[in-house]
Amino acid sequence: MSRIIAYDLCRLFIGPNFATPRGIDRVDLAMANHLFMDPHSPHIAILPTPLGVRAYPASVARSLLTHLEHIWNESMASEDDARLQSLIADMRSRDHARDFRLPHAVGLTRREGVRRTLALVRRTGLRTGRAATRAVPPGAIYVNFGQLALAVPMFFTWLQRRPDISCALMIHDTIPLQHPELVKPASVAHHARMVRTAAAHADCLIFSTAFARASVNEALAQLHASPIPSLVRSLPVPAAFARTRGGLPELAGKHYFVVVSTIELRKNFTLLLRVWEKLIARMGDAAPHLVMVGAPGLDAERILAPLTASPRLRDRVHHVSGLSSPALARLVFGCAALLSPSFAEGFGLPLLEGIAMGVPTIASDIPSHREIAHRSTTLLAADDESGWERAIMTTPRAIPGRHPHIPADMTESAYCAELIAFFGSVTSRSHGAPTGDIDRAR
């Protein structure tokens, strides 16, 4: 039998606080589903609780994942997605005078998020579980994709009492350490603790790009930490995108572009809004539409202020959050191009999704995007406003009959199988020589 995996569900446990999954949530969910598809699986779920770090059987994990997918509307048909239908109506409207209101960040109030989390606890039989120090079988490997828990060192002290357990951690990036001006001040200390936790406990690290690995290794070196074995493996294309076979009939003939990310400083939405102001001034009603998909984040109100001030801009620029994954996939499928003007990324999953679906892509020329980019991707400096305007103006409408091209090794099943095989080779630093670095980037 393959090695037992003790999989950390911390990120997914807080999933009810968000209307829909974010990019890394989909990857975390894919791995958890792979491990716990069978409720009788020998693998174990791990969660930090007020009683300490606890372990739960696969049956409980399966129940949690099923409930989470239900409240995230992961199987909802796009026709039933109220937020998508509202967006479609907005794009077809000619009412320039309508108001723009910034939605709740992530589409839920804090009270609603707490209510949904408590409902998840009641319906999935989480309760107290068993102490991880006693419940995890000898020689198992603890795996954490969610990263969030790494900022709380006490969640990892149980591993010190179980040196027979190996530890594999995914670190998404060190952007707050590299670009503190683009994040909340608390994020800098948050990420610094993550790196210290990895230095103290990780037997191997998992990265989505070589750039992310280099940046984390630089942060580790500043701590004078020993090198940690690692795997670089491109993230997979989410299943909802792999299954999509067509755009939205209601938007057939609409010339529109899509950008997908949290509305925050790092994502460079301000550039796109300036470009669209120029496009509207130049082209009038012939200007294309821009759809910004993402929950409001740091400084979102200021970033989106031009929409409040300009009815003309609101006629061509639309913001929506909380779309189900199938709805998002169909929206992207029918766009003229997927835009990604970020100043910094550890990976850039929306760019990969657009490429895989055969959608033209225009992205900022940053290291992680260069690793993902297709030969058809247009890479531009993040501050090249004129270049972005020219690229958007010369991009034709979506081509009817385009087809997704999802390589077999970029599916969720292939991704999960490869990482699980890799986990079998990871050796605890307490039990011998470490394994070497491996690259599996596409």
Q: Please state, rounded to an integer, the average pLDDT across all residues of the chain.
A: 90
Which residue type is seen at 9? L
Contacts of 47 (CB under 8 A, 6+ apart): 8, 9, 10, 13, 53, 54, 56, 126, 129
Q: Which of 231-235, 347-351, 362-366, 401-405 is predicted with the least confidence, judged by mean pLDDT?
A: 401-405
Q: Residue 258: how many CB atoms within 10 A of its CB?
A: 24
pLDDT tens track for 110-135: 788 888 888 888 888 788 899 999 99
Average pLDDT on 15-42 reads 93
- For every residue of 98-139, DSSP letters joined together read ----PPPGGGS-HHHHHHHHHHHHHHHT-TT-EEHHHHSPTT
- Per-residue confidence band for 431, with pLDDT thresholds at 50, 70 and 90: very low
Q: Which of 98-102, 219-223, 262-266 is predicted with the least confidence, judged by mean pLDDT?
A: 98-102
pLDDT tens track for 164-176: 999 999 999 999 9
Give the max Cα distance, the chain: 68
Residue 104: predicted pLDDT: 41
Q: What are phi and psi of 267, to 5 degrees?
A: -85, -10
Average pLDDT on 163-190 reads 94
Residue 432: predicted pLDDT: 39
Q: Which of 147-151, 195-199, 392-396 is predicted with the least confidence, judged by mean pLDDT?
A: 147-151
DSSP state of 237: P
Q: Which of 268-272, 337-341, 360-364, 399-403 is predicted with the least confidence, judged by mean pLDDT?
A: 399-403
Residue 100: predicted pLDDT: 57
What is the pTM (predicted TM-score) of this model? 0.91
